[in-house]
Amino acid sequence: MSNKPNPINTIQEKLRSLFGRTQAASNKKPGAPLLNFWTVLIIFWGLVYLQQSFFAPKTETIPYSRFKQAMAEGSVDDILIGPEKIEGILKGVQGQKFVTVRVNDPGLAKEMDERKIQYSGRTENRFWGILLSWVLPLGFLFLIWRFTAKNMGGSGVMSFGKNKAKIFAESDTRVSFEDVAGIDEAREELEEVVDFLTTPEKFQKLGGRIPKGVLLVGPPGTGKTLLARAVAGEAKVPFFSINGSEFVEMFVGVGAARVRDLFSQAAAQAPCIIFIDELDALGKARGMNAMGGHDEREQTLNQLLVEMDGFDTNKGVIIMAATNRPEILDPALLRPGRLDRQVLVDRPDINGREAILKIHSRQVVLGDDVDLSKIAGRTPGFVGADLANIVNESALLAARSNKDMVEPSDFDEAIDRVIGGLQKKNRVMNAREKEIVAFHESGHAIVAESVAFADPVHKISILPRGIAALGYTQQQPTEDRYLMTRSELLDRLAVLLGGRVAEELVFNETSTGAQNDLQRATDIIRSMVAEYGMNEKIGLVSYDRPRTPMFLPQGYSSEKNYSEETAARMDEAVSLMMEEAHLRVKKILSDKRALLDKLAALLAIQETVRGEELRDMM
């Protein structure tokens, strides 16, 4: 027998090593197709079995001495003599084929002639053996490597410089301006971009230059990405969509290569739209890197600026980008010739919210008594994503109750769930706490109905919701407001203090339940004093807050840009205004103490009171 290593065993060892790494990778990556891995493994072993069973005939390897002995006994026949081995048939073992290694034996042919044994010679053709033993398994290993690289997301070395944009063909976009509502000004601005793409000659014949880029700016959820896809759908052009963070990698130069690849692909498919979502991840102003140096993100941004300067808009490639952090973008991105237009995608007004609700409720079976205009009135400040969530939540609630259609009560519960959080049905409050919460919410509601400029009460509840809300008083604005007068701010302040004052009047002590009310009331007063110039002692001076995100939530900062003496005067003014508001609310609730007791008792029984019931009681 030969001591050479068996090629099949070598291949099996390589496969074990490869599949071991593949299995480890699949364990690290969620959702890896483990079933496909076992399928490939079974197919491989099936091929190995077929090779051993059919391509490699059953042949016994015997020593040369045994071959000579069998020849002397006359039990061999049909000898085939090759350069390295001798093959034949053993007569006494039912035609068993044998093979032996050929040795230097000059008298072998003469001996076979004397014994009248049939023999022949041949030259060794090793092509098929090499093909089956090496080329086929190596080709199979290559296929496994490709299969593994694909399952790992195509993150091989050769794909680093490829852009990761999702390309939507003309027929794949399937979004038009009919799917956009509530942002009419932004829509009109972008309808002109569609004209640029469809009829560029209308603008070029007068010498006009098509804008290179459009920046969509607005709070999260207002529909910036939807607008960009609607432009591509209306113009019926390819749509390249990519996130700003997908350009930057840990390897230097990869982001710049991806930018070049993206623009080269877009130029080949012009006219088209390149949409970069979350541009602030890529376009942050240079020089803001705390570690210093010329990092990879800045190289990527530099390449983007070069590409935006280098292509011709007359070819029909328009860049669209979206961000909710415009204040941190690099000024070079915003200059004319790059992102020429900035379109504000703002929160919708009441008419816009109604139109958005109609779009999202197209596929929802609504009851005849569902009034979308009332729902729009109850959701001031909501963006399109919030309204879509409300419609979906109401449909789920109706389905959970086995209803045939969505009713107003389902929308009511969906709004409460989105605003206040999930209702805690299993939380048990003792009678004392329940009584405190009932008087607290009653104080809010009565003050809201007693002052002139507060929003009317829609619902009062002492059912716990969310993380810390033990009850809530929900007010419904009669209209959208964009300005607040001093009287309106003072009335809003009074409503916030109503719960705390009600506890003082009834129990002669206060609880921790008013903490959030006091925090919001303090913010209102401090803004009136420090920003709006609504305090006589401080005067008509606005002490600006530090620079904060334009469209993201922000709280009041403790940083000061004024003297300690001014700070002391402002603190004194805030305390005085808070005390005046406290005395005002105390007088309102003292005059209506009987109503306060009656409403709290009703709340303790019903747990929820509608605004109409409260107004009837008053």
Q: Looking at the predicted structure, is the pLDDT value of residue 201 above 60?
A: yes
Q: Looking at the predicted structure, is the pLDDT value of residue 134 above 60?
A: yes
CATH topology of domain 166-344: Rossmann fold (3.40.50)
Domain boundaries for CATH 3.30.720.210 within the chain: 7-127
The per-residue pLDDT for range 242-255, each reduced to its tens digit, is: 888 887 766 667 77
273 vs 558, higher pLDDT: 273
Is the CATH number of domain 431-617 3.40.50.11540? no
Establish whether the linkage from the previous residue to 271 is cis, with ω within 30° of 0: yes
Distance between CA 476 and CA 71 in Å, rounded? 109
Distance between CA 581 and CA 497 in Å, rounded? 8
The per-residue pLDDT for range 509-522, each reduced to its tens digit, is: 989 888 899 999 99
The per-residue pLDDT for range 542-552, each reduced to its tens digit, is: 886 655 666 66
The per-residue pLDDT for range 206-232, each reduced to its tens digit, is: 877 777 889 999 988 888 988 888 888
Distance between CA 585 and CA 424 in Å, rounded? 31
Q: How far is CA 210 from CA 203, 213, 247, 340, 343, in A?
A: 7, 9, 26, 10, 16
pLDDT at 486: 93
Region 152-156 average pLDDT:
46
Q: Pick from 229, 200, 228: which is nearest to 213 by CA?
A: 228
Degrees (nearest 5) of the Cα angle 452, 455, 457?
110
CATH topology of domain 350-420: Helicase, Ruva Protein; domain 3 (1.10.8)
Domain boundaries for CATH 3.40.50.300 within the chain: 166-344
Q: Looking at the predicted structure, is the pLDDT value of residue 306 above 90?
A: no
Q: What is the CATH number of domain 7-127?
A: 3.30.720.210
Select which of 234, 407, 435, 441 is catalytic: 441
Active site includes 307?
no
Q: How far is CA 188 from CA 81, 87, 182, 195, in A?
A: 90, 88, 12, 11
* Backbone φ, ψ for residue 51 (5° rounding): -65, -45
Q: How far is CA 482 from CA 347, 380, 381, 477, in A?
A: 12, 11, 11, 12
Domain boundaries for CATH 1.20.58.760 within the chain: 431-617
